[in-house]
Amino acid sequence: MSAVLAILTRELRLALRSRMDWLLPLLFFVMVVLLFGLGARPNDPVLAGFAPSILWVGALLSMLLTLDRLFRADYEDGTLEQLCLAEAPLGLTVAAKLAAHWLLTGLPLVLLAAPLAVALQLPAAGLPALVWGLALGTPVLSFVGGFAAALTVALPRAGLLLPLLVLPLLAPVLIFGAGAVRAALGGLDAAAPLYFLAAVLVLCLTLVPWAAAAALRNAFE
Amino acid sequence: MSLQPFQLEIRDLAVRRGPRVLFERLGFSLSDGEILHLQGANGAGKTSLLETLAGLRRPASGQVLGLPEERGLHWLGHRNALNLSLSVLENLEFWCGLNGASAQACQPALERVGIWKLRHRLVRTLSAGQKRRAALARLLAQRRPLWLLDEPLDGLDRQGLELFAQLLGEHAASGGGAIVTSHQPLPAGLSGVRNLVLSP
């Protein structure tokens, strides 16, 4: 547990020192969503229909902005070598880093989603499904994105490759996340898509840290 | 506290980097109390050998036997593994936390390398030599029998070189061993140093 605490403390401390690193993706999210609203006709009811997709795609893209830095700084300053050789299992270390990434980028998106959804005129009936969906889906974005970041950490221009790797993998999360909101708006039960997201999250929590750890070790080969 | 004894033996080791064989049929041994100075031209495979011994890289063939077990080795690479946005003490406390060592070990380690006064300074404000000293403090904060040091003298001034010689001497005297790559001669006064030259 001391290793997990050490990682979380370090990541939160670094976030406090470099506030723009996690504030910029949030601002990006807010701007993308509001620009959609500004681009639509005033009081256009169609906008509410697109709101779930706009919010989910906005969240996905803003988290994507942060992925390239997830392991790169540690790779470049030699920290990653030490993490591979540390007493704490690398999978646990990776899990702690991904958890910190979600706390700093995913959780604020979840908290911002409801007010932004209101700005897009999403009916109140869709808000719980939206927030629950993002609460289950954004950790998946962190974990799947983290795996892709680990795969590309040693590549010189990974920033271009990352979206191509991550976006197809996250398509089901987007479909079920936005689908849950649409189901709630249509008066249907949103539980099924949310359960699917929960299942994907459990799968990611279980497998991704160890797969990402193997990818990081491979970066030194 | 005495260090765990070990008898490292390398047999017929070959290491590749991509399609290129860096070296093959390499064999040597290292016991506790010994220091091996690894030399060779650029590209001869010194860093790759250390990475292989540390477990960062898989050998193409051959065997590495007798590595000290758990908590057995320290690796100091070209890069210092210090985050520039954290202070010296925060960096060292992080490594102690990650390796299950007490944070109380940080003060004596930083005092020993002469940078305790700089402990609250952000690493980005330190000189190259001060950063190297901070990296050396990590070796002292948690005692491990085998040190694998890749160009540890980089950036050190004359006092730094003397300090490094003392630290290495004390480590060997207490039953530790070290493999050190360096293009320059190791500081004078070290006993028990063997040389190994890698040829490309």
pLDDT 10s digits, B15-35: 988 888 888 899 999 988 899
Residue A6: list chain B partners with CB under 8 A.
93-94, 96-98
**Is B160 found in the same domain as B177?**
yes
pLDDT for residue A21: 85
> B154 with B194, same domain?
yes
Encode pLDDT of B63-111 as tens digits: 998 888 766 889 999 899 999 999 999 999 999 988 888 888 999 999 9
Smallest Cβ–Cβ distance between B85 and the set A3, A9, A18 belongs to A18
Domain stop point among B143, B162, B190: B143
Contact A3 B100 (CB under 8 A): yes
Name chain A contacts of B90, Cβ cutoff 8 Å. 10, 13
Give the model's pLDDT for residue B200: 67
CA dist A122 and A139 (Å) reads: 23
Contacts of B156 by beta carbon, 8 Å cutoff, 6+ apart:
B129, B132, B133, B163, B164
Same domain flag for B57 and B9: yes
The residue of chain A with its CA nearest to that of B58 is A221
Q: What is the mean pLDDT of chain A?
A: 93
Contacts of A88 in chain B (CB under 8 A): 98-100
Q: How many domains does chain B have?
A: 2
Q: Examine the fold and report which residue of B126, B143, B160 is the final residue of a domain before the chain moves on.
A: B143
What local confidence, expressed as pLDDT, does residue A15 receive? 92
Q: Do B144 and B71 meet the contact criterion of CB atoms below 8 Å apart?
A: yes
Out of B100, B116, B143, a domain closes at B143
Q: Is residue A18 over pLDDT 80?
A: yes
Domain that holds residue B136: 81-143
B127 touches B155 (CB < 8 A): yes
Contacts of B73 in chain A (CB under 8 A): 85
A161 vs B189, residue with greater confidence: A161
Cα gap A89→A212, rounded to integer Å: 12
Q: Do A220 and B56 touch (CB under 8 A)?
A: yes
Extract the tokens encoding B181.
């790559």
Tell me what pLDDT residue B148 has.
95
Residue pLDDT, tens place only, A90-113: 999 999 999 999 999 999 999 999
pLDDT number for residue A106: 95
Do B163 and B198 reside in the same domain of the chain? Answer: yes
Residue B96 Cα distances to A23, A84, B119, angstroms: 30, 15, 15
Does the interface ipTM go beyond 0.85?
Answer: yes
Tens of pLDDT, residues B157-189: 889 999 999 999 999 999 899 999 988 888 777
The confidence score (pLDDT) of residue B142 equals 86
Can you give the pLDDT at residue A30? 96
